[in-house]
Structure 1
């Protein structure tokens, strides 16, 4: 098992679940579901608000998709609860020079189709990932990869790399059978990896069902049957947990926190997330391409009110363009909530507020509540009229990625600052996760310099300089970092979540 620190806000004594809960779980999918007494329950039903856009690890860069990929695929490394990369499919490794890494693979690792994983599968998978626009920013530090023998690979990087191991944790570098890649297998609907679970059925718009992979290299998962229910509305997820229809909520409705915390059959896991939430602004659109307009918006928005309305007060206001709980963070050159300064920036921009066309896209209720506060602030302080548009997650990701929008409430999660900056602000991520479409050579150069700086102290200095510069450019409006929660049946154990939101369900079991 992985060494993670468990931080529970409320963990109550477990009680034997009523027969009604058993029946509720049976109705949600899975086979013979037993009572959870004595650790003999072998199924779990999980509620999440958003459906994955794909079951392939290469077709998306969405959190909802990452949850699914962690179940069915494995990567060379994965992150622990402190967000440090740890060997996963790798037995041992050595950085043999500034640009050369040699990795010894674990032997006997089986794919879901029964084939053994070998070096040729690793080479083919990472080379394929490099061709996929949604994820290739996570393997651009791999200049070449080759199989030395059946269980040894060698990777060369363009220069010294401080991020290679972090990137090898990303689902975009998941390992799949070379034979299936060569055959053009559809991993988007039929995932075949070496992860702890195998797909049983995907009922689009409703649920995704999995079963434990008996030959998983790290030992078969204790929970044999798993169903993910797609429940977009937050209070409906809460009601389902209270009624015993589900066992676990991934995204807890903040407005229901007190209610769940007072339920002695529910446990709550709280963690300070690296998830950085903002109002994305398309810097290529008229008006929004003016830095003073963007600064005016940043100063006009009352982020504490956003948190109160959207999160029931459970978050931290953010003024920097990057997360505040990662090495390399900087508050230099941030804008503060100041209505008079907002008006000054607007005057200096020379842009008529009435000329700015702005529709704020939202993909869930929390974002919509945030957008309502922003809408009022922009109108009252700057005279900017904004509309609010609801959109499902898959459409939202496509529209914002392509730049066919003006504004949107969004977020990004990463386990390290370099990866965050590459994903959100580097020009090579335009048409992917750089949704503001910021294209600044100085920003790119500083991110690249940090990526190649091995010494952590020196790297943090470069990162702080970079974040300070991005704060000056104000490509988007930072809003908050949430205090995130997972809520679940108190008879579950082994729940540990990293600040980046990673949870390994193969470590979860019933008491």
Structure 2
């Protein structure tokens, strides 16, 4: 486990950052809010990316048919209302008539249908994984459209909150250039994107939900944790998502800064390519599961910013089953299982993003330390999140990896579709019973029965160990006192309703 950087190192990192941006400090009088995520967006085209960091920017620029509120409920957005037909296989949405794109053009049913069809027709789009059940889309009237699904899908009204609506005319005119100079219908419009420096947004006065109260929002990527904290202390940035544990106490005592902690919907886990000859061995995966001391990681390393967990959804997400407990640490049993597995010390590549999670590098080191202590040979390959994420989406993590899932729809169906269902998703493990249960829970309208079906999947996962669940992350945000904004469990950075104190 590494120790936090010294004050001098923090100051040096901040000086480098400040030299690039000190000319435009965040100030309440300017109506400017500066947010410092750990990395930049991959693109500004929401049909080409599903990464959480990009989604935070997309949700400020674009609208979707529905929205997920902070309490996990489904709320209207571009759709004024909707209804599900029999067996949840036909869904009709009525869109608002006063919504406009940033260029002043009205948002039409045709734009909505085209946006969905574009994604469905693009085999390279990672967003396509969310729409595999859509069989057809049709215009019903000037303000209504209907989705016909190939199978029942009880959470479809949540799923459409992930699909941003694009202006067909502008998109086709700009082509590839749309990804750098986009047009949406959300509360903020893009002023400029300078790669690895900033995405600058300006409030859209014609927004159908009311003009945002803050004129300018800047997403400024700062990979260094210490540099982000230093920039917050100096007043250069207003919000720092995911403060590392070592800096939480320090930032809490800083004048003009508050720290908000929120139990998140994000679960940190280890994934395996079970088709890898070494990792195809169940007893080896069980040994890895038992070799890790989750309590020590969360209480000492993370200083309470995490809770051990045994499933891929957190308590705030629909589908969480309290009966599924975290795996207990048992080094002796791990060694026994390792011996029974016939493992001969073959090196296992371990890939992970080193700039995405609080203490992500340190957690990876701790996990590897535990595995090595029972005799598992691990080769660490940490990398920038922007390099890791494409490998994850394309199923090219062919050893062991550490990642996380925080379902933005606050429903277990999203990780089930992404991590467990056989097909065009990211699952390396395939199980017929799991596929059957996934289909059953999608057709189940009784919440209690649906929870029970999902719980069976978590038990099958625990028995077969295609994933090793580590902990549910408690997230800490550093926020300037003059910023009126509340952190959410789903990690979304939405600023339509944010304010700056006078």
Report the 3-state secondary structure (helix = DSSP H, G, I; strand = E; otherwise coil) of the residue aligned with 2:496. Answer: helix
- Residue 416 of structure 2 is matched in structure 1 by 421
Query: In the alignment, which residue of structure 1 is the partner of 2:264?
Result: 273
Whether 1:368 aligns to 2:361 is: yes
Q: Distance in 2 between matches of 1:183 and 1:386?
A: 49
Offset at residue 195 of structure 1 (A): 0.9
1:64 is aligned to 53
Distance 1:151 1:41 in 2: 39
C-alpha distance in 2 between matches for 1:334 and 1:262: 34
- Residue 166 of structure 1 pairs with residue 158 of structure 2: yes
Could you tell me which residue of structure 1 aligns to residue 243 of structure 2?
252
- Aligned equivalents of 2:255 and 2:300: distance in 1? 27
Runs of 5+ unmatched residues, structure 1: 1-23
Q: Secondary structure at the match of 2:179?
A: coil
Map 1:425-436 → 2, pairs under 5 A: 425-430=420-425, 433-434=426-427
Output one character per residue of 1:370-428: Cα deviation in whole Å (capped at 9) or x when no partner.
111112111111x1121222211121112233324412221011111111211222122
Aligned-partner Cα distance in 1 for 2:436–2:297: 34
In the alignment, what sits opposite 1:49?
38
The answer for the alignment partner of 1:391 in structure 2 is 383
- Pairing partner for 1:481 from 450, 472, 480: 472
2:216 alignment partner, one of 225, 248, 270? 225
1:348 Cα deviation from its structure 2 partner: 2.6
Partner of 1:345: 337
State whether structure 2 residue 401 is matched by structure 1 residue 408.
yes
How many angstroms does 1:280 deviate by? 2.2
Q: Per-residue CA shift, 1:245-271, capped at 9, x if unaligned? A: 111112212211111112241122221
Aligned to 1:134: 126
Query: In the alignment, is the contact (CA less than 8 A) between 2:293 and 2:328 conserved in 1?
Result: no
Which runs of 5 or more structure 2 residues have no equivalent in the other structure?
1-17
Query: Is the CA contact (8 Å cut-off) linking 1:28 and 1:227 kept in structure 2?
Result: no
- Deviation sequence 1:446-499 (CA, Å, 0-9, x none): 112111111111111110111111111111221111111222111111x23332
Q: Which of 189, 192, 202 is the aligned partner of 2:183?
A: 192
Contact 2:264 2:490 in 1 (8 A): yes
Query: For residue 280 of structure 2, what is the aligned residue in structure 1?
Result: 289
Question: How much has 1:66 moved relative to structure 2?
Answer: 0.5
1:123 equivalent to 2:123? Answer no
Three-state SS of the structure 1 residue aligned to 2:471 is strand
Is contact 1:295-1:335 (8 Å) kept? no
Question: TM-score, normalising length from structure 1?
Answer: 0.87
The answer as to 2:352 corresponding to 1:357 is: no
Deviation, 1:27, is: 4.4
Say whether the 8 Å CA contact 1:25–1:44 is kept in structure 2: no
Aligned-partner Cα distance in 2 for 1:256–1:84: 33
Q: Secondary structure at the match of 1:230?
A: coil
Distance between the aligned counterparts of 1:249 and 1:321, measured in 2? Answer: 26
Q: Tell me, yes or no, if the aligned pair for 1:301 and 1:378 is still in contact at 8 Å.
A: yes
The reply on whether 1:503 has 2:498 as its aligned counterpart is no
CA drift of 1:92 comes to 2.0
Q: Distance in 1 between matches of 2:121 and 2:418?
A: 17
The yes-or-no answer on 1:78 pairing with 2:67 is yes
Aligned to 2:137: 145
The offset of 1:57, in angstroms, is: 1.0
Q: Contact 1:426–1:443 at 8 Å: present in 2 too?
A: yes
Q: Which of these residues, 422, 439, 452, is aligned with residue 448 of structure 1?
A: 439
CA shift at 1:321, angstroms? 4.2
Select the residue among 193, 196, 201 that pairs with 1:210.
201
Secondary structure, aligned partner of 1:355:
coil
Q: Residues 438, 28 of structure 1: CA spacing in aligned structure 2 closer, same or farther, 3 A cutoff?
A: farther
Bigger mean CA deviation after superposition, 258-267 or 291-300: 258-267
| Cα-to-partner distance string for 1:318-355 (whole Å, 9 max, x where unaligned) | 23344344333334486321112212221232222x12
Q: Which residue of 2 aligns with 1:107?
A: 97
Which residue matches 1:4?
A: none
Q: Is the 8 A contact 1:200 1:209 kept in 2?
A: yes
Q: In the comparison of the two structures, how many residue pairs are matched?
A: 474
Secondary structure at 1:273 match in 2: strand
Q: Deviations over 1:205-228 (max 9, x none)?
A: 222111111211111111111211
CA displacement at 1:282 relative to structure 2: 2.0
Distance in 1 between residues matched to 2:460 and 2:397, nearest whole Å:
26
Q: TM-score, normalised by structure 2?
A: 0.89
Q: 1:184, CA displacement in angstroms?
A: 6.3
Cα distance 1:233–1:105, how it changes in 2: closer, same or farther (>3 A)?
Answer: same
Deviations 1:97-122 (A, max 9, x none): 33322221101211122211110011
2:312 and 2:169 map into 1 onto residues whose CA distance is 43
Q: 1:390/1:96 Cα in 2 relative to 1: closer, same or farther (>3 Å)? A: closer
Kindly report which structure 2 residues correspond to 1:224-243, keeping only aligned pairs within 5 A, or say none: 224-243=215-234
